Structure 1
Amino acid sequence: MFQIDKRHIVNFDYILFFQTVLLLFLGIMSIYSASYDLQLHQAGNYYIKQISWSIIGIVLFFIFSFISYKRLISWVAVIYTLGVMSLIYVLIFGDVNMGAKRWIDIGGFSLQPSEFFKVVWVLTLGRVFKDIGMKNLSFFPIFKKFAPAVPPLLLIFLQPDLGTAVIFLAIWGIVLLYRGITKYTFFAILAILLVSIPVIWANMHDYQRQRVITFLNPEADPFGSGYHVIQSKIALGSGGLTGKGYLQGTQSHLKFLPEKHTDFIFSVIGEEFGLVGAAVILLCFLSLLSKILHISAYSKEPTAKIMCVAVFAFIFFQFFVNASMVVGIMPVVGIPMPFISYGGSSLVTFMSMLGIVNSIAMRRYDRPADF
């Protein structure tokens, strides 16, 4: 499985690695501040755990970098099956938290299989959409390419985790558009999505509907469902241009801002470092996303291109949704910011995906494989 030669080592993308480590560092700094207690003058242990997960993530980055992505693609059927089995396992034996079964406890660590399945999804899409050089897809052939999406979408929806299910569907859609479809197919799919909105609304849980209602008018319930968004806006607005200073955020340290180390970590950054700090985070993500697209552009194999696009879509979509959520232009759906928010499952997942991207970069001069 490991295929290492001098060319691969020489082609190791150090810029990609540096961009990733920089985001990890910024995330640890933000989590330290979010968990800092002004009265005790010390931070909680979230940042220590994040450091541990970051080390594990870096190790996985190197492991996936030196594993040939072609070998992973050849084993995608087995990897996909194991991934689906993990989603079934969590539905049966998972820990119930806030009415949802999303986590399994292994050795004192809570792991989220749906996060790890994102790596599986990148590999699966690379195999399913490998024919990007052919003509644009029409309506019926798309059903064949949608078939692998049905089991994970259904299992994740049943947890219930609508936000993550939407992410998987969105990534599939982005890759489909990159692959190419006819304009008639595009409008047909758009019509299906519009027609399905009432059906989706009718099958949503009460708290999910409440999130949408709160998004439309958060001030209608300022001490209930709208509290999160209102406090987040106050934190971001009070930061101004340059912020209040590191460890000086009042909304977070006086405990007005909920979920400050996970879903609303971007609000902590905006309050303490202002518009300048938020812009730095944005530029870091734009730089990373540009690098991924660059690697995709010079990759020779369609499969490699698709996997890069899928990783790009995952990072972009989650960053965009999280940032939009904290400023109140999207509903609160509990999607963390990649690399910045606290969370071991999410962190090691994105590090593994970037390891696959680096594996593609390291093997850009290899002969294209016939999968």
Structure 2
Amino acid sequence: MPRPAVRHSPFGTTPAGEEVTLWHLASPSGTYAEILTYGGILHTLGVPDVRGRTENVVLSLGTLDQYTKKSPYLGALVGRYANRIAHGRFTLDGVTHRVPANDRGHALHGGPEGFDTRVWRAAPFVDGDSAALRLTLRSPHGDMGFPGTLDVTVTYALDGAGNLSLEYAATTDRPTVLSLAGHAYFNLAADGGDVLDHTLQVDAAGYLPVDATGIPLGPPANAAGTPFDLTEPRRLRDTVLAPADEQLRLAGGGYDHCWTLADAEAPEPRRAARLAAPGGIRVMEVWTTAPGLQVYTANRLDGTLADPAGRPLRRHGAVCLETQHYPDAPNRPAYPTPVLHPAGTARRRTEFRFPHLGAA
């Protein structure tokens, strides 16, 4: 039986002169993952289908230059704060902090120089039947306006069954706010087309309606009777294209919303979502300890970027399932708190499981 394996190769140099490495993790299941030290990007996730054909199921770009110049967070680790902070401003312990606005007047994914633009330190290892890569990053006090020196560790692990996990841990030397997330764009058909014929189920009855700039309007809304009711599997074509739904229109013609999974970080992962390609040739479940799940149907991809095979990345060409805190939670006391104190360690685990591999 094949053993888990880790290898690496150079992937170019950033404009600042930092060398970037591509790490390749291989599982005995036939699944493999490729991760860049630039942005902690999940560059490739090769997953066999029910026929045994292995193809990449995440969107990616061909060169480092493309990632550094114009990537819509493809596969990246985003932080310090995933999603939006209204007007790039929040108050913590009576002090107002400002994060540079980079999305319609708001701070998105940690500001214009978030963790997706950093070169992370990498340490590979093999643990039993898992191939793994531990990434670390230090974010100094005042980085993008956030308080506290933050030490972050994100561990990618690919186990013997072909499941990919991300284990997050972070500590700070003074109170700060934190929401880390992976921003992979999934297309389980791996055919270069759209995902409108994928089915999606989200294990949450509530979601956060937003305004035209992506900021939540208030408390969670009941999704029943709307295109946001995904408590049973629904074909994306039948939901994201609903012509009369104002929320879908405000988000650019699809989902860019947070489903409310829980009111706090959970001690152990529980299922948050199930995504299936047409015909069930690949099935993926998302398990997480996070309180929120942001679903984004790539509404703003416009074909100006292309994947390594030269195929344009187009609108609705993938779906992101980002496990995170609620958007704008630093300004919303009623939301699960994203505050991290020096006495504690922020921890999160997210797993992408592929049950069809076990059935094959």
Q: Whose radius of gyration is greater, 1 or 2?
A: 1
TM range (shorter): under 0.3
Structure number having the greater helix percentage: 1
Structure with the larger RCO, 1 or 2 (CA within 8 Å, 6+ apart)? 1
Structure number having the greater strand percentage: 2
TM-score calculated relative to the size of structure 1: 0.27
